[in-house]
Amino acid sequence: SQQGEEDPQALSIQEGENATMNCSYKTSINNLQWYRQNSGRGLVHLILIRSNEREKHSGRLRVTLDTSKKSSSLLITASRAADTASYFCATDTTGRRALTFGSGTRLQVQP
Amino acid sequence: NAGVTQTPKFRVLKTGQSMTLLCAQDMNHEYMYWYRQDPGMGLRLIHYSVGEGTTAKGEVPDGYNVSRLKKQNFLLGLESAAPSQTSVYFCASRGGDLSANSPLHFGNGTRLTVT
């Protein structure tokens, strides 16, 4: 079963609006990472948040982590048509040497 | 700097045929991974390697073999392809030790269809 599960599975918004995606996971983590995938391409790393951090910013991205609820959220502010992509969370856990990915959120930003 | 390169980009196989997918990275990364991506299921780990000459099984290893003879290359083999192996295959690498919280670097994938 997937360690990370994203919600919603699909999201359609207008340019300029904010987009929020959520990720829930099951076991304790070292860090949680968010990746972006454009259609037909590989995944690209966006941001990493460590287990002892609660919030992190990078440009228009804001990530929060609540380890007590085993959940994270990715907020993209002032979205652009170019943000249209799939977004995946991935968890990095102690003892595992590989990241475990969720099933992703497909974001469509309408111009 | 090419990063992670996968060949081929596309391939069509008949059931029972064999093939090898090649992944090459030029970042001197220790760790390399093979994932498959199927619609609605995210990425699932097939096999991975923590260094030259080492390999280990992931979540869905059956039907696949791997080799890491050189640090920069990680090969994924299908000995007898089955329609269930129709998927997009991604190679990834990461550097540093695991405590460094390093991200994965991905190739652009190999789209494989087995008929």
B79 half-sphere exposure, CB direction, 13 A CA radius: 6
A19, A2 Cβ separation under 8 angstroms:
no
B101 → closest Cβ in A42, A43, A48: A48
Q: What is the pLDDT of residues A55-102, one digit of tens each?
A: 999 999 999 999 999 999 999 999 999 999 999 999 988 767 788 999
CB contact burial A31-43 (16+ within 10 A = b; e otherwise): bbbbbbbeeeebb
How far is CA A37 from each of CA A84, A106, B58, B74, rounded to the nearest angstrom? 9, 9, 22, 22
Q: What is the pLDDT of residues B25-62, one digit of tens each?
A: 999 999 999 999 998 778 999 999 999 999 999 999 99
**pLDDT at residue B71, as a whole number:** 96
Residue A18 pLDDT > 80: yes
Residue B96 pLDDT > 80: no
Spatial CA neighbour of B103 closest among A63, A92, A39: A92
**pLDDT at residue B81, as a whole number:** 97
> What is the least distance, in Å, from the CA of B44 to any CA of chain A?
7
**pLDDT at residue B1, as a whole number:** 64
Mean pLDDT throughout B102-108?
93
Question: Chain A contacts of B96, Cβ < 8 Å?
Answer: none
**Phi, psi of A82, deg, nearest 5:** -70, -10
Radius of gyration of chain B (CA): 13
**pLDDT at residue B90, as a whole number:** 98
- DSSP character for B53? T
Inter-chain touch B43–A31, beta carbons under 8 Å: no
Range 39-78 of B in CB contact (< 8 A) with A: 40-45, 48, 50, 56, 58
What residues have CB less than 8 Å from A5, skipping those under 6 apart?
A23, A24, A25, A102, A103
Amino acid (1-letter code) at residue B33: Y
Q: Distance between CA A30 and CA A20 in Å, rounded?
A: 23
Inter-chain touch A103–B48, beta carbons under 8 Å: no
Q: What is the pLDDT of residues A31-63, one digit of tens each?
A: 999 999 999 899 999 999 999 999 999 999 999
SS (H, E, C) chain A: CCCCEEECCEEEEECCCCEEEEEECCCCCCEEEEEEECCCCCEEEEEEEECCCCEEEECCEEEEEECCCCEEEEEECCCCHHHCEEEEEEEECCCCCCCEECCCEEEEEEC
Spatial CA neighbour of A42 closest among B2, B96, B26: B2
Q: Which residues pair with B11 in a beta bridge?
A: B112
